[in-house]
Chains A and B, each alone.
Chain A
Amino acid sequence: MNALIELDDIEVHFKVKNRRSVTPATLRAVDGVSLAVERSQCLGVVGESGCGKSTLAGVLVGLTTPTAGQVRYDGQDIGPRRSKELRRRIQMVFQDPVASLNPRRRVRSVLAELIDCHGLVPDTGMASALNSLMEMVNLPTRVLDARPRELSGGQRQRVAIARALAVQPDVLVADEAVSALDVSAQATVVNLLADLRADLGLTIVFISHDLGIIRTLCDRVAVMYAGRVAEEGPADAIFATPRHPYTRALLKAAPDLRRRAAEPRVPALEGEPSGALDLITGCPFQPRCPEAEAICSAAPPPYVQHGSHRTACVHASDQLGPVPG
Chain B
Amino acid sequence: MTGTEAVIEIANLSIAAGQGGVTLVDDVSLHVDAGECLGIVGESGSGKSLTLRSVLGLLPPALHQTRGTMRFQRENEGLHSVGPRELRGRGVSMIFQEPMSSLNPTMRIGDLVAAGQRARGMSRRAAAGQALRLLAEVGVPHPEQRARAWPHQLSGGLRQRVMIAMALSVEPTLLLCDEPTTALDTTVQDQILTLVERLRIERGLALIFVSHDLSVISRIANRTAVMYAGRVIEQGPTHALVDNPRHPYTRALIESMPQLHGPPTRLRTISGSPPTAGRLPAGCRFAPRCPLAADACHEADPPLLSIGPHRSTACFRQTALNAGEQP
Contacts and interface: CB of A to CB of B under 8 A. Distances in A.
Interface in B213-245: 213-216, 218-219, 239, 242
B190 to A, nearest CB: 4
B187 A184 contact: no
B314 interface: no
Which among B44, B157, B158, B264 has the highest number of chain A CB atoms within 10 Å?
A: B264
A269 B190 contact: yes
A264 B197 CA distance: 10
Contacts of B11: none
Given A48-B185, A183-B214, A251 B260 contact: yes
A48 B189 CA distance: 11
B187 A269 contact: yes
A268 B191 CA distance: 8
A292 to B, nearest CB: 16
Which among B44, B198, B218, B267 has the highest number of chain A CB atoms within 10 Å?
A: B267
Interface string B155-196: 111100000000000000000000000000111111101100
A183 B43 contact: yes
A4 interface: no
- Size band of the interface chain A makes with B: 35 or more
Given A184-B269, A257-B215, A249 B260 contact: no
A49 B239 CA distance: 31
A302 interface: no
Which among A213, A217, A253, A270 has the highest number of chain B CB atoms within 10 Å?
A: A253
B273 A185 contact: yes
A116 to B, nearest CB: 31
Contact of A239 (B214, B256, B261): B261
Contacts of A322: none
B218 A255 contact: yes
A239 B262 CA distance: 9
Contacts of B270: 184, 187
Contacts of B253: 183-184
A42 to B, nearest CB: 11
A263 B197 CA distance: 10
A263 B265 CA distance: 26
Contact of B257 (A253, A257, A264, A267): A257
Interface residues of B, number: 43
Contacts of B156: 272
Contacts of A194: 266
Contact of B191 (A153, A267, A273): A267
B260 A187 contact: no
Contacts of A186: 256
B259 interface: yes
A49 B185 contact: yes
B194 A265 contact: yes
Given A183-B214, A191-B266, A211 B261 contact: no
A45 B186 CA distance: 15
Given A209-B185, A260-B218, A254 B269 contact: no
A215 B242 CA distance: 21
A153 B273 CA distance: 10
B258 A209 contact: no
Interface in A157-202: 182-188, 190-191, 194
B85 interface: no
A272 B189 CA distance: 11
A187 B270 CA distance: 8
B268 interface: yes
Interface string A275-303: 00000000000000000000000000000
Contacts of A270: 191
A270 to B, nearest CB: 7
Nearest to B183: A49
Nearest to B216: A255
B103 to A, nearest CB: 17
B254 interface: yes
A188 B274 CA distance: 14
Contacts of B254: 257
A212 B256 contact: no
Nearest to A214: B258
Contacts of A235: 264
Contacts of A264: 194
A109 interface: no
Given A48-B185, A191-B266, A272-B185, 10 more contacts: A49-B185, A183-B256, A183-B257, A213-B258, A216-B259, A250-B186, A252-B190, A255-B213, A256-B260, A267-B187
19 contacts: A152-B273, A153-B44, A183-B253, A183-B257, A184-B252, A188-B269, A216-B266, A252-B190, A254-B215, A255-B190, A255-B213, A256-B215, A256-B261, A257-B259, A259-B260, A267-B190, A267-B194, A272-B155, A272-B185
For the complex of A and B, list the 10 residue pairs with the smallest distance between their C-beta atoms, beginning with the closest: A212-B258, A253-B190, A48-B185, A187-B267, A187-B256, A182-B43, A255-B215, A267-B191, A184-B270, A216-B258
